[in-house]
Amino acid sequence: MKKLTILFVVVLLIASVTGCSKDISSTDLGQELVALTKGAVQCVNEREYGGFRAYIREDLRPQFSDEVMQGVEEYISAAGDFIEFGQTKVVPQKSGDGEESYAVVLEVKYESKELIYTAALDSQKEITGFYVK
């Protein structure tokens, strides 16, 4: 059930990011959010899952269990070694109650292919969703 919920959130996030949205990655806030997301991705690349979970909002950390992270590790390992970060995009979003949140999209280059990471961050700049494709 939790995986289904995460998948639903990811689909909504991707749908909202691909729409006509303003990219704020060049602003101070956008750069801060990109740096936070890059830090989380670096933890994943280095298999430092405790460090990765520190970026996740506390109530959501149990959803990123060792089993889930093992699946992420297997997927990323197939891409080879990390090379560099590519393009970024940061899109602000507002919920129905006016709460601000953000979607951060990072292109990440590996030896054998490029992966796209998408992170949802809340107004406290904590990750509430994390997806790699």
Please determine, looking at this structure, whether the domain spanning 2-132 carries the CATH number 3.10.450.590: yes
pLDDT tens sequence across 26-71: 999 999 999 999 999 999 999 999 999 999 999 999 999 999 999 9
Tell me which residue has tokens 């990471």: 117
| pLDDT for residue 4 | 44
| pLDDT for residue 96 | 77
**Whole-angstrom Cα Rg for the chain:** 14
